[in-house]
Structure 1
Amino acid sequence: MTSRSGAPRRHLANSPFAPKVEPEVENFELDDRVSHQTYGLGRVVGREREAVTVDFGNCTKRIVTPYKGLEVL
């Protein structure tokens, strides 16, 4: 058995299936007020290329892209 390379497959023009749509990644700045579906209201206290660190008051969480459930207020 061969292993997959992990590279995304290209979409063929004559394919009957719709191409996969890349999710739009939101850009967060330091001190942005945010809301998360699970953790509630918080403030961005750290920012990396692929993640943000958010202080929710009772806990601090590192959330990676595509930042599922996180939105700027």
Structure 2
Amino acid sequence: MRRTSPAVRRRPPGSPFSTPDIPPPPVEQYATGDRVSHDKYGLGRVLAVDQDDTVLVDFGVETYRIASPYAKLVKL
């Protein structure tokens, strides 16, 4: 009896396993005095940047420390 090797299985074009690795977007850099917008807190101004991984932002009513990767923070 002759043995045959199994056929190579190809994944369909829309398969999530065949997508190339997409690098994450670069982390936004903030400086003191930058105007920013946050989805929850609104408009604010950067008061301080701590070691490029957290920013202290004044939103008028309150001041918040926001950690990297700043998911909801956008520089204006």
Tell me whether the two structures share a fold, i.e. TM-score over 0.5: yes
CA–CA distance in structure 2, aligned partners of residues 35 and 17 of structure 1: 33
2:66 match:
63
CA RMSD of aligned residues (A): 1.6
Secondary structure of the corresponding residue to residue 57 of structure 2 = strand
Query: Would you say how many aligned residue pairs link Structure 1 and Structure 2?
Result: 59
- In the TM superposition, structure 1's runs of 4+ consecutive aligned residues that sit over 6 Å from their partners are none
1:72 match:
75
Bigger CA radius of gyration? 2
In the TM superposition, what is the alpha-carbon distance from 1:58 to its structure 2 partner?
0.5
1:24 match:
26
In the TM superposition, what is the alpha-carbon distance from 1:20 to its structure 2 partner?
5.5
The gaps in structure 1 that reach 5 residues or longer are 1-14
Greater mean alpha carbon deviation, residues 36-45 or residues 23-32: 23-32
Aligned identity (percent) is 44
1:37 match:
39
Which amino acid in the other structure matches residue 33 of structure 1?
R
TM norm structure 2? 0.68
The gaps in structure 2 that reach 5 residues or longer are 1-16
Contact kept in structure 2, 1:23 and 1:66, CA below 8 Å: no
Which amino acid in the other structure matches residue 61 of structure 1?
Y
In the TM superposition, what is the alpha-carbon distance from 1:19 to its structure 2 partner?
2.6
